[in-house]
Structure 1
């Protein structure tokens, strides 16, 4: 029996991972930044962000809640797949989860990555992580295949549109009467040039803006971590707020972290702390839209993407001209070779 003939027998939730106590923070950040061209002072700065929240990232608890929601959604749709969870940077790590799956008899799994947009760090690197873990576990490690990206899936657009409406209502404005800023994690231009991250973000933002009738919107970025001389996607959300307010006084603003599935540390610190403080200083009424989280429509999207791969439907739902994204990534998809800082002369 070939790999493609073997039935799917499990589901794997793939995520980034996060510390769950102050003692975890530095080991976690060292995992995240190993081999990357990130100044140590930036790592220490981010460590302070975690300290501000007791060293606990919300992402692991979110994934536990998302797993529970997926299990319930699968049960309601008679999808008989056990649900597992693995992280890149913190427990449960890929080798441990794949080893458990092997011991449980799993042979071929479908995976959902908690990253809705294609780039090296959001897709290809996870696939590389899985391959490395399979090699560590051995020849009997389960095969893992990802579902397609859902950035333009109608259920994701519905999820984020509802979040925008709720955020706008919380500051007593309508989406068509305020500035809406969609934010995502910035990435190096060298990474952005070899993937569809920016195109997908622009399309997803446009679809959500159209769904809520927001004519005044823009896409901005946050949380860059590279050295100052390395170009990353811009504008930064804080710069964009200040520049927009300077040019034409802002009375209200809705920030939508469309690039984040859950309330990562970056969302909590960069938006709920820094952006909120900037808006308060400038007299701007600001609301931050919820991330997709465990919204029923978002969980329905995950179930629908799985049903596609199980062969239960031929209807691959997607809104807009980009259509449904590919199921299998091309060999050269999202490649990236980080630039290295030159070694100082001795």
Structure 2
């Protein structure tokens, strides 16, 4: 994408509640159209209420928005960096209407998800198309490509892991990401495994270790009907397994996430942390990479390198129905 062809940058994210009153409306929006009863949502709501109904993700993304505006190379965007969410304020359609009113006619779109999957890619592109329709505006939205294999993303993880690797204790590294249905994992799982292998090797070299430490992939935040297969093993099972194997120290790397969010805090800090404590394990959880200054540089590199149409038609298909999207091309 040529910078001179872009009027603005739009950050698109999942969103989250910021008060107790927002929790249930937020969760209903997350599962809209799936027939999930409030009784099931109430169980999830307990996790949010544990943290006073506040997800950290909105504050983290507002900080990203401010840093992108401040640190933009050559100040080519100035303050024209916008934030729109799928499930909470500022809602995407409202942001698009605001952008149109400000005279924005073309914008790069950075989705806060590095990996390819329906929920992490195509669903956001469906949301963008629906947001344009709802707002009744015409903005040329050009998507930043997926970046799970970008060297800067890997290097941030490598640096953060290397800082805590040296230890006299028996250590196992657990790379964790959000579980998805097995049917949606054809590209999703190998992308995570490739990044994890790159990070563990790089961190071991940086920490002057003769060989990389033992490591595992684990998954968290499984949802959906019980009969539907999702990626396993669960992080809790892997923590307990480490204790049974005589491991003394575990390092948890939430490699599937870019920023702090409620799922990390609940599934990793509260639930997995409690299992580690029960088994007298030393438990270390690495911070995600979005707050690193290099993350800003990576976004602008991706904008310059991408053509705005990163996906082919039919990739990461919608499991329920086909919907209009933006940012896809027919196969060559």
TM-score with structure 2 setting the length: 0.88
Change (3 A) 1:336 1:37: farther
- Contact 1:167–1:288 (Cα < 8 Å) also in 2: no
| Uncovered stretches (5+) of structure 1, i.e. residues with no partner | 311-325, 340-346
- Give the structure 1 partner of residue 172 of structure 2: 179
Does residue 1:124 correspond to 2:106, yes or no? no
| CA distance in structure 1 between the aligned counterparts of 2:168 and 2:36, rounded to whole angstroms | 40
Does residue 1:249 correspond to 2:246, yes or no? yes
| CA distance in structure 2 between the aligned counterparts of 1:221 and 1:233, rounded to whole angstroms | 7
| CA distance in structure 2 between the aligned counterparts of 1:267 and 1:55, rounded to whole angstroms | 15
Change (3 A) 1:107 1:207: same
Q: Alignment partner for residue 274 of structure 1, among 271, 275, 284?
A: 271
| CA distance in structure 1 between the aligned counterparts of 2:213 and 2:108, rounded to whole angstroms | 38
| CA distance in structure 2 between the aligned counterparts of 1:244 and 1:302, rounded to whole angstroms | 36
- Give the structure 1 partner of residue 209 of structure 2: none
Does residue 1:207 correspond to 2:213, yes or no? no
Does residue 1:197 correspond to 2:188, yes or no? yes
The CA deviation at 1:69 is 1.4
Question: Structure 1: which 4+ aligned runs deviate by more than 4 Å?
Answer: 3-6, 37-41
- For each residue in 1:100-131, what CA deviation from the matched residue of structure 2 results, as whole angstroms up to 9, or x when unmatched? 11011111111111111110100100000000
Does residue 1:286 correspond to 2:277, yes or no? no
- Give the structure 1 partner of residue 154 of structure 2: 157
- Contact 1:253–1:285 (Cα < 8 Å) also in 2: yes
- Contact 1:6–1:108 (Cα < 8 Å) also in 2: no
- Contact 1:69–1:294 (Cα < 8 Å) also in 2: no
- After superposing the two structures, state which structure 1 stretch, 33-42 or 255-264, moved more: 33-42
The CA deviation at 1:271 is 0.5
Change (3 A) 1:300 1:263: same
- Give the structure 1 partner of residue 330 of structure 2: none
The CA deviation at 1:298 is 1.6
How do residues 313-324 of structure 1 correspond to structure 2 at under 5 angstroms?
Answer: none
SS state at 1:293 partner: helix
SS state at 1:110 partner: strand
- Contact 1:87–1:94 (Cα < 8 Å) also in 2: yes
How do residues 1-346 of structure 1 correspond to structure 2 at under 5 angstroms?
Answer: 7-36=5-34, 38=36, 40-74=38-72, 76-80=73-77, 82-138=80-136, 140-168=137-165, 172=167, 178-193=171-186, 196-213=187-204, 214-246=212-244, 248-309=245-306, 328-338=310-320
- After superposing the two structures, state which structure 1 stretch, 32-41 or 50-59, moved more: 32-41
Change (3 A) 1:299 1:52: same
Aligned length: 313
- For each residue in 1:153-201, what CA deviation from the matched residue of structure 2 results, as whole angstroms up to 9, or x when unmatched? 11101111122123446xx569xx62111101101112224xx211111
| Uncovered stretches (5+) of structure 2, i.e. residues with no partner | 205-211, 322-332
Change (3 A) 1:137 1:260: same
TM-score with structure 1 setting the length: 0.85
Q: RMSD across aligned C-alpha pairs, in angstroms?
A: 2.3
- Contact 2:69–2:75 (Cα < 8 Å) also in 1: no
SS state at 1:98 partner: helix
SS state at 2:77 partner: coil
Change (3 A) 1:173 1:86: farther
| CA distance in structure 2 between the aligned counterparts of 1:166 and 1:6, rounded to whole angstroms | 40
The CA deviation at 1:278 is 0.5
